[in-house]
């Protein structure tokens, strides 16, 4: 479903006002899809554990954990740099208005991009990223900011996990900035934050805003289910339900490796079809895939 995980609000021709929610029948379908999907992902997760597939992957991918923080840092630094150069605060639908507050936010993100990219003063970089994100609440709708909750996830991940072995903090032999007992929570925090962002997208851009989704479909005839008689309205219901399902499954940690690969595939598809804006906005997915696929839960002793 090409519409899945694409940022509808990035491509609407005008500001679209949210319309009333789905009717009772449509919400019933959403609930059925969510329950069925969560049970399926839960079953898949249990099978992966019992078959020792997850254990074998952990063993094979463990050496890559030394590189995971670097991947997160570089992809985040690039995302912030691109946003600032395009006058985006978060994305094409949340832009700078040239005010002092917007300039301050852009300045904070520039500083965060440098510190995070270099792995220098790790906690300061994480806090700067979080401060810039929170300041955007004064310039944009709360839901538009919540759509990008991955910023909070990245800041929390770096704070808890540390900058990693391949960082200036490590090369300069600074004292450890993160206690080992905190590092074990970094994966959970990051995964949950991504899930919150995806679930919010499913609600804010589709299930609770069918007008925006329909406007998107009017511009891009991408209802791939129309060939079997599915209307745009029901396509929006299904697409929003699946997006919400993926977010909830990540929050509950049901087959998260499988889920993040599905998310990556859909994001790559929408990026190819929608163009450069989608590629910019989904740079964070590079770090998300690294963290969740490698399962960066227990950092290596050298890190």
The domain ranges of the chain are: 8-294
- Whether the per-residue pLDDT at 135 is higher than 80: the answer is yes
The pLDDT tens digits of the residues spanning 77-101 come to: 999 999 899 888 887 778 888 899 9
Compute the half-sphere exposure of residue 66: CA atoms within 13 Å on the CB side of its CA.
8
Q: What is the pLDDT of residues 169-214, one digit of tens each?
A: 988 876 555 556 777 889 999 999 999 998 998 898 889 888 878 8
Q: What is the pLDDT of residue 191?
A: 93
| Confidence category of residue 2, pLDDT binned at 50, 70, 90 | very low
Of the two residues 216 and 288, the one the predictor is more confident about is 288
What's the rounded Cα separation, in Å, for the pair 137 and 147?
A: 12
**DSSP tag of 302:** T
Q: What is the pTM of this model?
A: 0.84
Grade residue 268 by pLDDT with cuts at 50, 70 and 90. Answer: confident
Closest CA to 112 of 53, 149, 171, 72: 72
Indicate if the pLDDT at residue 1 is higher than 50. Answer: no
CA distances from 259 to 154, 192, 204, 250, 262 (A): 18, 13, 21, 7, 5
* Percentage of the chain modeled with pLDDT above 70: 84
């Amino acid at each position: 479903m090409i519409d899945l995980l694409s940022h509808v609000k990035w491509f609407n021709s005008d500001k679209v006002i949210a319309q009333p929610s789905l009717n009772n029948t449509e919400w019933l379908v959403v609930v059925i899809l969510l329950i069925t999907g969560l049970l399926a992902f839960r079953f898949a997760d249990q099978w992966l554990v019992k078959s020792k597939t997850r254990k074998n992957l952990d063993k094979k991918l463990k050496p890559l954990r030394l590189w995971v923080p670097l991947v997160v840092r570089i992809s985040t630094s690039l995302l912030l740099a691109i946003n600032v150069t395009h006058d985006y605060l978060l994305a094409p639908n949340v832009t700078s208005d040239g005010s002092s507050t917007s300039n301050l936010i852009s300045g904070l993100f520039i500083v965060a991009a440098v510190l995070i990219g270099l792995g220098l003063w790790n906690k300061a970089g994480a806090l700067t990223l979080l401060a810039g994100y929170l300041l955007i609440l004064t310039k944009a709708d709360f839901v538009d900011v919540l759509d990008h909750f991955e910023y909070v996830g990245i800041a929390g991940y770096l704070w808890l996990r540390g900058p990693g072995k391949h960082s200036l903090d490590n090369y300069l032999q600074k004292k450890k900035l993160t206690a080992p007992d905190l590092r074990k929570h970094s994966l959970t925090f990051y995964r949950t934050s991504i899930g919150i962002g995806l679930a919010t997208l499913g609600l804010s851009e589709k299930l609770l805003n069918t007008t925006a989704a329909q406007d998107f479909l009017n511009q891009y005839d991408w209802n791939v289910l129309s060939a079997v008689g599915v209307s745009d309205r029901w396509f929006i219901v299904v697409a929003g339900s699946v997006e919400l399902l993926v977010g909830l499954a990540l929050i509950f940690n049901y087959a998260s490796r499988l889920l993040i690969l599905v998310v990556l595939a859909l994001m790559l598809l929408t990026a190819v079809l929608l163009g450069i804006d989608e590629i910019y906005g989904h740079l964070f997915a590079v770090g998300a895939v690294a963290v969740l696929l490698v399962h960066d839960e227990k950092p290596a002793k050298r890190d």
